[in-house]
Structure formats: C-alpha cells, structure tokens
Chain A
Amino acid sequence: MKFKLSVLAAATAMALSPVSQANEVEVLHWWTSGGEAASVQFLKEKLNSEGVSWSDFAVAGGGGESAMTVLKSRAISGNPPTAAQIKGPSIQEWGELGFLADINDVATDAGWDNLLPGVVSDVMKYDGKYVAAPVNVHRVNWLWANPAVFSKAGATIPTTWDDFMVQAQKLKDAGYVALAHGGQAWQDATVFEAVVLGVGGADYYQKAFVEGDMAALNSATTVEVFETFGKLRQYIDANSPGRDWNVATSMVINGEAGMQIMGDWAKGEFKVAGKNAGTDFVCVAAPGTSGSFTFNVDSFAFFSQSDAGKADAQKAMADAILSVEFQEVFNLNKGSIPARLGMDRAAFDSCAHDSMDAFVASSQTGGLVPSFAHGMAVSEAVSGAIYDTATNYFNSSDSAEQGAKQLIAAIAAAQ
C-alpha cells in the first residue's frame, strides 16, 4: 500500500508538473528591499489566487545593472524570463531586437488607452502595440526639507534657484549642512536635472535633454544652468562623495541638514523614521519647477514565449499589474503615485496628492517631461554622457563655460 501510494504520488506529480510549469511567470526584478519586496509579494499572491505560479528571479543591486547583465545573457541564449523590470527607451531597444511579446489584446480588453496618460502609454508601446505594463509614476523633481531646521536658521523654503542660494546661505551660517547630498553619479545627475528644469524651463529641457537638439544645447541657457549647478558645490558637506541617497535623507530627518533634492522614493525613509508629511518634513517641487513634473515610470516588459500556457500566464500578470488593488498597494509602499488614472486617493498622503495634481496639470501645459537622470529620456549612451559631465563638473572647480562645452561634446559623441 505504501509503495502504491508513492507511485501514485509520483505519477500525479508528473502529470501535474507540465501544467504548473505552463502557468508560471518567471519575473526578473531588483525590488529586494523592504517596502518594494512587500509590494512584489502582493503581486505574487494575487497571481497565485488566479492559478498562476510565480517564480522569482530577483537579482539584487539597486540600479539593476547586474540584473540587466543577467537578462542580456539569458535573452541571447534564447531563454528569456516571462517578464523583466525594464523601463523607458530601453523598452524600444529590446523591441527593436525582437524579444518582446505583444500584449495588446489584454490592453484593449482592459481599456489601457483610457486608463493611462498618453506620455506613459507611449513608453509602454513598441511599434504601436503594448509590450510592457507600467507599475508606478515617480516624480523626481522634489525638494525635501526639515521645517524645524529652517525655523531655527530663520530661513524660508525656497521656490526659485536665486532664493535657494539666499536661504541655503542662512542655513550654512547657522551651522547646518544646507543641502544633504550623496556624491554618486546618479545623485549628481538628479540634482543637475532639477537645475536644468528650474533654470531652463520645460521647453529647454525637452529640446536639449530629451531631443538632444544642438541649437538648444549651444544656447546661453546651458551656461546659466552650469552656473547655478556650480553654486551648489558650496552648500554640500565635504563628506558627501560616495554617500548613499538614504544616508543623505537621514541627515534631513535628524536635523543635521536642511534640504535634499531627490525623487519621491525619499518619502519612504521619512515614513520609516515615523515622520509625518507637512509637520515633520515638507515636500515641495524643486526650485523653479512647481509647474513641471519629471517622471520616472517603472514597468515590466514582457518577453515572447513559445509556450501557449506561459503566454496566458503572462497576460494574467499584465492584467494584474494594472488592477486597482495592485496599483494602490504597490504605490503606497513605494512612495510613488499609480500609473493608472482616476483612482481613489483617500489612502495616499499629502505629498502623493500634490504629485497626482501636478501630474495631471503638467500633462496639459507641457511641463510633463521624462527624467534623463533615471533612464526615461534618452538612450543609455547619452544619459551616461550626461552623468559623466555632470558628476565631473560638480566635483571639480571648472567654470560654467567649461562645463557646458564638455556636456555638448559628450552628448554629440554619444548620439
């Protein structure tokens, strides 16, 4: 009897395994820390309840560089995962190489064209068809401030870059670090991006840093941008090189520093420290950018599958990502706002409300621009060139003219 049972069990397992294989999604992502991991867990359970099993293919490393290396080698060897965390212009590059799956029928059934803002859905489509599903929208041009530090120093929260220098000087004179900053290339680029948008405006930003228009880059505005960016050098502390962004955020939380320019993921750090938006910390648009919104959309791109069962599982996953429940839970955890429009806002905090309002408003005025510091605007080669010049300039004592010249040369070489 015992023997028979085990044979039966083996036979059942053999009979079942191809089925469970077929309804499986294998997902490459690098959301392995705290709130992000919890959000992925939610998606996994939601799919499990629909009979789709989830095979996690997490490759740690914040920026996802190591994950991308693994993905490329898997794709070349003809064994790509079902879905992978890919965003921005990279989706187009993968589409051109012919790896992505068409999930247009799911999108049509669920009416994605009506649920998603135009700028977001354009990024998700390759050759007019949906190949990826958006998870969230981050606003990058935020200024995080500690109001207690400001009142002690007798300063007010700046709304323009000229005012920023005045207020930062007050903070510095009062013995605070005016601008909490981590000297890593991407953080330098994040601040640079806020300066470009604040000094040059959305039109200049779009022309010079999204379209790579040489006439715009060669204008006097570029030099002005570098002048403002260069002035910031004196308001950061000497220990900043190499510091992680969350360490810089904790300087604002602890009252060592007055401000930080960082995307809305910084909010998670304030929340974890038990701080409340509006009283313990303040979120305002980065100086001079209140009418604009630099967006950073995370998304999952879907890879072509030869197995019909896997393709079905893939579609179930795409549908689940755009579901109201997932969009809400994920974005509450991550600090971003849902990519899906018209959702109930009650659960979100005041910073998220501001972000949602600015998102809708800026999409009508043309102030909604993709973030080049976070791989949304230009190819990796061009954004790499911008990173290099921004970080090199910020850490040197070069003049604004030299900075502008280097930037133009680097962008021209990378295009």
Chain B
Amino acid sequence: MFKYLENQLPKLVMAPTAIAMFVCMYGFIAWTVGLSFTKSRMMPQWDFVGLVQYEKLFANPRWMVALDNLWIFTFLFIVISLFLGLMLAIFLDRNVRAEGALRTIYLYPMAISFVVTGTAWKWILNPGLGIEKLVRDLGFSDFEFRWLVDQDMAIYTIVIAAVWQSSGFVMAMFLAGLRGIDDSLIKAAQIDGASTMRTYWHIILPMMKPVFFGAIVVLSHIAIKSFDLVQALTGGGPGYASDLPANFMYTFAFSRAQMGVGAASAVIMLCGVLAILVPYLYSELRSDKQ
C-alpha cells in the first residue's frame, strides 16, 4: 500500500497542474476554435456558420496588412537579433575587460517590459521630440527621420525597438554556448594554423547549431505574440499600418463586437506558432531517442 502510494505520488502532485493546463490551455484553445465557426458577435453564440468568419477575415484589408507586417517583423527581428546577439557574444567571449558589467548592460533591456520599451522608443523616434529634433538642433536643419509617422516605414520602428530589447538575451544564450565549447578544440585549430575568422566560421559556429535553433524558436514566438510593443509604440498606426495579428485579434474580439472574426484570427495565429513548434518538437523528441 505504502509502496503503491509512493509510486503514485509524483502523478498526484502533478495532477492539479495538469488539469489546470488542460482546462486553461487546451480547453480554451478548443473553445476559441469552436467560436471561430460560429456567428458570434458581441457575445459567444453557438450558431455554426462554417467558414464564413475566415472568409470575412481574409477579405479584410486590415488583416492582410497585419499578416504582411508579421512576416516583415518576424524575419527582420529574428535575423537582426541573432546577428547582433552573436556578435556581442563573440566580442564578450574574447576576454574583454569588465565583461561582467558589459554583459549586464546588454542584458538589461530584457528586464524592461515591452510597454516601457515601446513608450521610450515612441519618444526617441518622434520627429518633434527625439532623434530628428536632436540632429536638427545640432545644425543639420534638413535632417529627416520620421519612420514613426510614415505609413510605409512604421513597422520598421517596431523592429528597431524589439531588436534593442531582445538582442541582449540572444547574446546571453550564445555566450553560454560559447563557454561550453572545449578550449582544446580552438587550440588545436590554432596549432593547425587556422585564422580566428576561420576558426569561428568552420568550427565554433557549426557547434552552436542547437543554440541557433533554440534562439529562433524563442524569438519567433515572441514575434507572433507581440502585442504590447505595438500598442505602446505606434498604437497600430499611422492608420493601421503597423498592426500585428495579435492587435487585430484584440480589436475585433473585444472592441468591435466581432468575436467570430477575432476567434478566426486567433486560430490562424495558433497555426503559425504550431508551424514553428511542431518541427522543433519533432526533431527534439527524435534526437532524445537516439
């Protein structure tokens, strides 16, 4: 009897978390998928109408702008964050002085919420307050930098702020990876006469593959979930030029009384996350077995 309990104890302890997960995550995901097939407007209504809400969604120019923005944002955000993070990590790994202090400085933006980042960058990028005014006051009176108020460029300001926030975190991941590499490998390469560039390019970077993979997964789901940064930095504007799908979903589900369209957009976002996570999980699980 005691032995039986002891065996079951881990399961018992985990049960409340598992139940909470099932109800609050998978239950509500199922609920949202269900809602997306109904004609719900202000309140959930269970009259099924098939794919009408999805048709409405993809006929909506605002949604198409949000989707385009998502691709632009995700791609640039991941590539630039990876590049900057990797560079910072490599420089820090070269035994620079005061590494601890520098590391903290680069990592610090991660400690701030996206709302603070967004608000600060909103002021920095505002033509009448920030960079443009500063440079003009320095004497360059023709200087123009008004991406924040330009419909075609606003999405890039979000990339700037997000990269500023996250590249320190990527740096920390790479730094941990670099520290895990056996020194003797690098020494062997040096003895063989490989240049520093060559050592990094052919030996160290290939060994960092898991870190790249991990960083991409973390960054891409940050990108798909991005909501607060847009809300604080541009409010989706000018017009709706810098909307991301999460902002679209919130607007339609909660302030436009079009819950069905909102639910449909949430389902499309979920599909986006799954498209990234499933291959990752698959490769992880497979390598565990080997």
Contact = CB atoms under 8 A, between A and B. Distances in A.
B127 A391 contact: no
A183 interface: yes
Contacts of B146: 238
Given A76-B43, A381-B256, A395-B241, A238 B235 contact: no
Interface string A67-108: 011001001100000000000000001000100000000000
Contacts of B128: 237-239
| Contact size range, B | 20 to 34
A228 interface: no
B122 A97 contact: no
Interface string A376-415: 0001110010001001111110000000001000100110
Contacts of A406: 61
Nearest to B126: A239
A354 B241 CA distance: 39
A185 B59 CA distance: 20
A393 B240 CA distance: 10
Most buried by B among A63, A241, A379, A396: A241
Given A239-B128, A239-B149, A381-B41, A413 B60 contact: yes
Interface string A235-250: 0011111100000000
Contact of A241 (B56, B62, B148, B252): B148
Contacts of A395: 151, 237-239, 241
| Contact size range, A | 20 to 34
A241 B256 contact: no
B181 interface: no
A68 B255 contact: yes
DSSP class of B's interface residues: helix, strand, loop or mixed? loop
B234 interface: yes
A241 B257 contact: no
Nearest to B152: A396
Nearest to B133: A239
B268 interface: no
Contact of A388 (B62, B127, B148, B255): B62
B61 A93 contact: no
Nearest to B42: A93
B254 interface: yes
A184 interface: yes
B254 A65 contact: yes
Given A392-B239, A392-B240, A384 B256 contact: yes
B235 to A, nearest CB: 5
A380 B255 CA distance: 8
Nearest to A381: B258
A94 to B, nearest CB: 8
Nearest to B257: A380
B240 A391 contact: yes
A213 to B, nearest CB: 21
A183 B62 CA distance: 17
Interface of B: 41-44, 56, 59-62, 122, 126-128, 146, 148-149, 151, 234-235, 237-241, 251-252, 254-258
Interface of A: 63, 65, 68-69, 72, 75-76, 93, 97, 183-185, 188, 237-242, 379-381, 384, 388, 391-396, 406, 410, 413-414
Q: Which 10 A-B pairs have the closest CB atoms?
A: A395-B239, A395-B238, A380-B257, A392-B239, A239-B128, A384-B256, A65-B255, A241-B238, A241-B149, A391-B239
18 contacts: A65-B255, A69-B254, A72-B43, A97-B43, A183-B149, A238-B127, A238-B149, A239-B149, A241-B234, A241-B238, A242-B237, A380-B255, A381-B256, A388-B240, A391-B238, A392-B241, A395-B239, A413-B59
